Structure 1
Amino acid sequence: MKRWVVALAVFGLAGCGTPVAGKAVPGEAPSAPDAGVVRWVNNFCAVAEYMVASGGVQFQPPEGDPAQAKKSVSESLGRVVDVLDVVLHDLGELTPAPEPAADAAVEVVVEPLGRARDKFAKAKSTVDGAPELSVEVYSSAIQDMTEAVTVMNDAVQKMGVVSLPDGYKDAAEHAENCS
């Protein structure tokens, strides 16, 4: 009896291999990411690239002329504040995101960057408000800059590990500013 069951099963399965007329039904193709999400991720990555490209400002006052040293430090601080203003503005333009979970990722970065910007602005104000760049003025400015850099590094680290929704991760593969 077992042989007949096995024989019928094999014979029956052999019939399944017979070609039939018609077209194959396609399987589910992976869906392309939403264009709005790709655009959002592309802009998010652009902000990160801008921050990296704008980094590396040196705060070494020139030796000699105190007026030139003050001007040089003030200009350097001004450039950093300007960069952070652009970054904060551009991050603000990303909200509201297509998904609320992405808004949280932006907020995680904006808060420390805002604090860093304020510290750099305070250092610039200290330098600009002094009649000359004395050791005391420079030390005060350096203290604010050190705190700002610490907070800014925190923001950059958060930007590197920020968790975006899955659809956003997939969209990064289609966004030219994300590498």
Structure 2
Amino acid sequence: MFDKDFRITGKHANYWKDLCELAGNVPDREQHNNFKIFSAYIDAYILCPLIGYQYNRKGVIDNSEEGSAGMLAEVISKRRNELKYVYQILMMLDEESEPDEDKRLYRAFKFSAETPEDKQLIEDNMKVFNAYFLGGLEILHEEFVEQCHDADDYLKRIYDYVQRFYAEQDDEAIREGINKYLD
């Protein structure tokens, strides 16, 4: 888990490029020359699944457009602990893909594929994680690429988005949810 290269194609690859700063040697820099939220692909890969979950949005790979984006295993492995943490949060919270609380807890902490069943469980969990990643990409692309035309738009959108996100958080519900697992 989080030890292999990761690559996507199609519109989501273009969304990822639109939201992240690209290395200077990438030939399609002009095509994706807009306001960037993330300094690296890995930052988006860590945060977007949480945004996808927060707004109950899962994406499905759509290869109708040309485009490819990805990260090497070396990059992913450097941030593996953060990715595992986000993975665990999603696996514990996502009742849609697993309604049983005990099974959600089990899958959140199962990282090694010792049996074929474990391997399948981890593959299924990674599909959930990546679906939320794609959903988060879609949300942020809609907010910050499709709606921003200049620096003023971008700054206003960032401010409004952070304020809205903060207002949507119910501190008491979050504490209760955490305490439920700790008790």
- Confirm or deny a common fold (TM above 0.5): no
The structure that is strand-richer by fraction is: 2
Larger radius of gyration: 1
State TM-score, norm by structure 1: 0.30
State TM-score, norm by structure 2: 0.29
